Amino acid sequence: MSYQPLPDAPDWFTRALSVPQGDLLVDVAGCPIHALTFGTPGTRGLVFVHGGGAHAHWWTHVAATFAEEFRVVCIDLSGHGDSGHRSSYSLEQWTDEVMAVAAAGDIAGPPVVVGHSMGGFVTIGTAARHGAAVSGAIVCDSPVTEPDPEIASYRLKEAFGQPRVYPTREDALAHFRTVPAQDHYLDFVMDHVAHHSVRPTDGGFQWKFDREVFAQFSGGMRSVALPYLSRVRCRFALLRSEHGLVTRDIGRFMYDELGRVTPVIEIPEAGHHAMLDQPLILLTALRTLLADWDHSEPRRRQ
């Protein structure tokens, strides 16, 4: 689908969307998994993982800016975006999908995996289960704690609403919302993300994600990722949004579980979806971490 940014979009954003982009499709356990690619094949890589109900294009305006230095892959997890749907979903299956698109994306050596929200839980699981094949992991506002009643599956289904077909694309876009909501968004980013969130169907348009994803995690995704925290051995960083879901207490808990060797960095003024309201600050944090990791020795878990 051809997309034109809003007229008031800043130059940095339109430049990011103009970076040459490829599409990748790989079969993982019988399901077609789609990913976007940027940059030169055969160079060191970054893999970006979106959150629940989202898709690869949530990351485009951030990820594409790394194309001159990295081979960049943005995955659509199964049940999301332009990937296929499954009869059942698991965090472990999603970690296998991440590694499959990294391999198919022609990345040189182990990549750094960057995940937001639910994608951060997948990133934690990927780092723990595929440690030798991951050089580093950066998690953006993914609150790993014991199970919480407020994220039980019935609340998630309430938040995402009932399946609905909108008569026109414009009608669907007018109903685009994030879960959770936040106080501030950049209109030009929201417009881009929303346009890639719908697909045509009989009678109109509907959201691309599969609602069965949420029905299968009755205890919430946070607790599913919890056992993997203590198994992470690669470079790791936690970015917490100032107005997001990772509170200072949760950040301290995760720091302890990770062996007290992981930086926990606050993104100022950001809501949970930092790429939608503070993308340049998020981008600066990512670039700073990657530059530091190129020139420093990691602290190791005792």
Residue 155, domain extent: 22-294
Is residue 148 scored above 70 in pLDDT?
A: no
Mean pLDDT across the chain: 92
Phi-psi region of 175 (alpha: psi -120 to 50; beta: other; left: phi over 0): alpha
Is residue 172 scored above 60 in pLDDT?
A: yes
Q: Which residues of 97-122 are buried (b: 16+ CB within 10 A; e: fewer)?
A: bbbbbbebbbbeebbbbbbbbbbbbb
> Given this model, what pLDDT does residue 162 score?
66
**87 inside domain:** yes
> What pLDDT band is residue 219 in, cutting at 50, 70 and 90?
low
CATH number at residue 192: 3.40.50.1820
Residues 266-286 pLDDT 10s: 999 999 999 999 999 999 999
**277 inside domain:** yes
> Given this model, what pLDDT does residue 153 score?
42
**64 inside domain:** yes
**123 inside domain:** yes
Please indicate whether residue 69 or residue 301 has the higher confidence score (pLDDT). Answer: 69
**117 inside domain:** yes
Structure tokens at 166: 């909108």
Mean pLDDT on 292-300: 90
Q: How far apart are CA 96 and CA 84, in angstroms?
A: 15
The number of domains in the chain is 1
> Would you give the DSSP letter of residue 219?
T
> Given this model, what pLDDT does residue 161 score?
59
Is residue 157 scored above 60 in pLDDT?
A: no
Is residue 250 scored above 80 in pLDDT?
A: yes
**9 inside domain:** no
Q: In terms of Cα–Cα distance, which of 66, 43, 221, 78 is closest to 139?
A: 221
**72 inside domain:** yes
Inter-CA distances, 272 with 11, 108, 185, Å: 25, 32, 11
**10 inside domain:** no
Q: How far apart are CA 118 and CA 96, in angstroms?
A: 15
Q: What is the pTM of this model?
A: 0.95
Q: In terms of Cα–Cα distance, which of 245, 238, 248 is closest to 289?
A: 238
Mean pLDDT on 183-203: 96
Amino acid identity of residue 282, one-letter, is: L
Q: Apex CA 175: angle with CA 201 and CA 206, to 5°?
A: 10
Q: Is 29 helix (H, G, I), strand (E, B) or coil?
A: coil
